Each structure stands twice: as structure tokens, then as C-alpha cells.
Structure 1
Amino acid sequence: MSRPAYNGGDLPAVFPDWSPYRDLESAARAYLRDPDLALEALHGALGGAAVLGFTLERFVNEVNGVWQEVVICDGSRLILWHGEDVPPDDGPAGSMTSSLRVVPVSTVTEVGCRRRLTRTPDGGIRVDSVDVYLLLSSLDETAPAEEAPAPPRHDALRFGKTRDDGGDGQIARLEEFARLVSSVVGRPAL
């Protein structure tokens, strides 16, 4: 099964599973289309710090093509890399953006994790999806100018995995990442 890419060719609709890989480089190389770009940016920001945990996301849409993201926690920072294909009208074929964001863990004010559960025929419980949000102390600046002024809203980072988009392994790894961030939020920096 595949989906047409925005600039021709086919991209797989289901990407390889990164969840078995415990190290960032192996997971990125298994899952991302552009692992070298991501790893170069991330290692530059890490500056030798240890990666305590990470999560990855990738999808294809009909407008921009491939959208991919890596989020790392090193215990004191969240380091986010985001790569996205540029729409055909915004640049030459094959153009993309690559961005890096570093967020101090001290700015995370709340961690939320919502699980959708299903009871199986044998009475067990299965996790069908997980949605994680990290509420930040910074304000969201994306309010549309043409609308009436809205009250300020805090910035948030959101991540999600489902059985259809990532499967059980990636759901478990995202929950693990949420637990890691929860364990370092609100602790004094050493």
C-alpha cells in the first residue's frame, strides 16, 4: 500500500516501525526520510548531552508531502527537530524546511496523557491510542489577526499515536516518553 507523493513517485502509507530501536540514530535511520538532516541538527544542539528518551513522528499529506519530527529529552531540555516538504507553489520540487527548537524542561508546566482503551472479548484491556500534551509557560502567538482578540493561550506540544498510526510499540514508546518528561518536570535543576 502506498500514497502518491506530492512531487511524483510513491511513498509507503505505513512507515517502518522505529519503536524496537532504543538508540536515537537507529530509530531515526529506520523511520525518517531525512535522518542525516535530523541527526546533524539534533547532535549539534545536544552538545554531548545524553539522550534519555525520544519520540518520532512522520506522515504524508497531499499538500506538503512528508512531515517528520523528532523530540528528544536530555533531562533538562526538550530538543525538537521538524522537517517538512515545501508545497509545490512555494519552491522548486524537492524543497523542504528543517527547523530546530530547544525548550527548557523548566518551562513545562503540565504533562497530560490520554489513553483510549478497548475491552477485548476475553475481558482484557487494550490501548488503542495515546495523546500526550506538554503545556508550556510561553504564550501561543498564532492567534489570527482578523479575529477579535482572544485571551492569551499557553503554548503546547502535542504528540499522538494510534494502533493504525504507529501500532502498539510506538504507543508504548510515546507513553514512556511522557513518563520521562513527567519525571523531570518540576524538579530542581542540578
Structure 2
Amino acid sequence: MSRPTFGGGDLPAVFPDWSPYQDLESAARAYLRDPEVALEALGGVLRGASVLGFTLERFVNEVNGVWQEVAVCDGSRLILWHGEDIPPDDGPAGSMTSSLRVVPVSTVTEVGCRRRLNRMPSGGVRVDSIDVYLLLSSLDEGLPADEVAGAPRHDALRFGKTFDDGGAGQIARLEEFARLVASVLGRPTL
């Protein structure tokens, strides 16, 4: 099974595994469809800072095509890159967006991690999925229209991996990323 791509041709519906790659560039080149775009945007902000950890996401949806995301932690900042194909009715064929967001780690107020475990017939336990959220001190500006006006809701960054979508390696790497961010919360920056 394959899907059309940004640059034409077909894209496999199952993507290569980035989890064995410990450095951002190798992982991005193995996994992202547009690694050059992502690495250029991230590099402009990192400017030689050490990448302490990262997580990658990519999926294909029926409306917009390919959606890609990179989240990097350098100890004091979260640098988030997002690339997404533009729907055919919203721009010329082959158009995509590339966005960058930089969030100081000091604005992360809470890190949450939920793992779904599956007990195997052998008695062992396998992690089937992981959901991670980083609650920020900033307010969510995009409240749904049907939500009653009241207390403001804080912005959050959400990441998830499943055994079927990413596998054990990517689940472990996302959990490692969550632990890294949690470990730098409240520490003085250099």
C-alpha cells in the first residue's frame, strides 16, 4: 500500500524505523519525507546547541497527505518543527507548510506519560502504546466553538506511539524523551 507524495511518486504506508538512530540528522533522514526542510529549520535555531533528545512523527491522512513533526530538547528549549502537505484546493500541487515553534522548557509545568501494557501468555508485559503530554503555562488560543466560555485552558504538546505504529523502539524513544524533559524541569539553565 502506498500514498502520493509531496514531490510526486509513491510513499510507503509503513515508514522506516528511526529509533535505532541516536543522532537527529540520521534519524530524520531515515524517517522524514522532507528531512532537508526540517533540518534546515531546526539548525537555524539550534546553531550548534547540543541535542539532548528528540522524537519524530509522520503519518499520512486522506485530506492533506503527509504530516511530519520533530520535537527536540536541548536542555533549555523545546524546538518543534512541523511540516504538512497543503490540500489540493488550498494551493498548487506539491505545496506544503513548514513551521517552527520554540518553547522554553521553563514554561513546561507538567509532564505526563501513560503507557498501555499488555500481559503476554508467557507472563511478560509488553508496552502497546504510550501517550505523552507536556502541559505549558501558555493558554490555548484555539478553544472549540462548542466549548462553554469559562476558565482558560492551558496549551499542551502531545505525542503518541503504538506498537503497530512505530513499534517498541519508537515507544521507548518517546518515553526517553518524556523523561528527559521531566528531568530538566525546574533546573537552572546555564
State the Cα deviation string for residues 34-81 of structure 1 (Å, max 9, x = none): 000000000110121100000000000010000000000000000000
Aligned AA (1:16): P
Aligned AA (2:117): L
Query: What does residue 13 of structure 2 align with?
Result: 13
TM-score by length of 2: 0.95
Give matches, 1:37-186, under 5 Å.
37-145=37-145, 148-186=148-186
TM-score by length of 1: 0.95
Q: Structure 1: how far apart are the matches of 2:59 and 2:131?
A: 16
Structure 1's unaligned 5+ residue stretches are none
1:179 alignment partner, SS class:
helix
Q: Structure 2: how far apart are the matches of 1:184 and 1:60?
A: 33
Distance apart, 1:186 and its partner CA: 1.4
The total of aligned residue pairs comes to: 190
Distance apart, 1:116 and its partner CA: 0.2
Q: Structure 2: how far apart are the matches of 1:60 and 1:148?
A: 32
Structure 2's unaligned 5+ residue stretches are none
CA 1:25 to 1:6, structure 2 compared with 1: closer, same or farther past 3 Å?
closer
Using the aligned pairs only, state the percent identity.
84
Distance apart, 1:10 and its partner CA: 2.9
Contact kept in structure 2, 1:111 and 1:178, CA below 8 Å: yes
Q: Structure 1: how far apart are the matches of 2:100 and 2:172?
A: 25
Aligned AA (2:46): L
CA 1:18 to 1:106, structure 2 compared with 1: closer, same or farther past 3 Å?
same
